[in-house]
Amino acid sequence: MAAKWIESLTGSLEQKKQYKEDKARIEALPEPYATAAMAMHRYVMYYGGVTDGGTLTTMFGDLADLWERAAIDGTPVRAIAGEDPVEFAETFAQAYSGKQWIDKERERLRQAFEAAAGDSGKGS
């Protein structure tokens, strides 16, 4: 019972556990994979803006899988990310749709314009 109450305030404890496990997997990678994966992890946290825990858990699990596989295969970092790591990270993050923090602001903007335009749609 207490776990449900805590989860209602903090989010899923299972998702937090999975996130920590995936982060530990990334940190345990050999170099240069650990550096690249940690940099990408940080970037997609900022860029992605995803607030849905399930989507985040999936995304970071897949990120850990990607870099673990590259390390096992000995694939060069540039062969994974190409010449533009920003483009690669953004494309990666875009593959994971979920609720984003900006969604609330988008809706707020739409509602403000609807109110300003009134029923006629022409505005004042």
Asked whether residue 121 is domain-assigned, the answer is no
Asked whether residue 94 is domain-assigned, the answer is yes
Asked whether residue 104 is domain-assigned, the answer is yes
pLDDT tens-digit profile of 18-39? 999 999 999 999 999 999 999 9
Asked whether residue 3 is domain-assigned, the answer is no
If you search the block for the tokens 């314009």, which residue do you land on?
113
CA distance 109 to 106: 5
Q: How many domains does the chain have?
A: 1
Burial class (CB in 10 A: 0-12, 13-18, 19+), 64: buried
> Can you tell me the mean pLDDT for 36-51?
87
Asked whether residue 54 is domain-assigned, the answer is yes
CATH of residue 20's domain is 1.10.1900.10
**Between residues 91 and 46, the one the model is more confident about:** 91
Greatest Cα-to-Cα distance within the chain, rounded to the nearest angstrom: 63
Asked whether residue 44 is domain-assigned, the answer is yes
For residue 70, what are the domain limits? 13-115
Asked whether residue 5 is domain-assigned, the answer is no
What pLDDT score does 38 carry?
97
Say if pTM beats, i.e. exceeds, 0.75: no
Asked whether residue 103 is domain-assigned, the answer is yes
CA distance 63 to 55: 12
How far the first Cα of the chain sits from its last, in Å, is 54
Instruction: Name the average pLDDT for the chain.
Output: 85
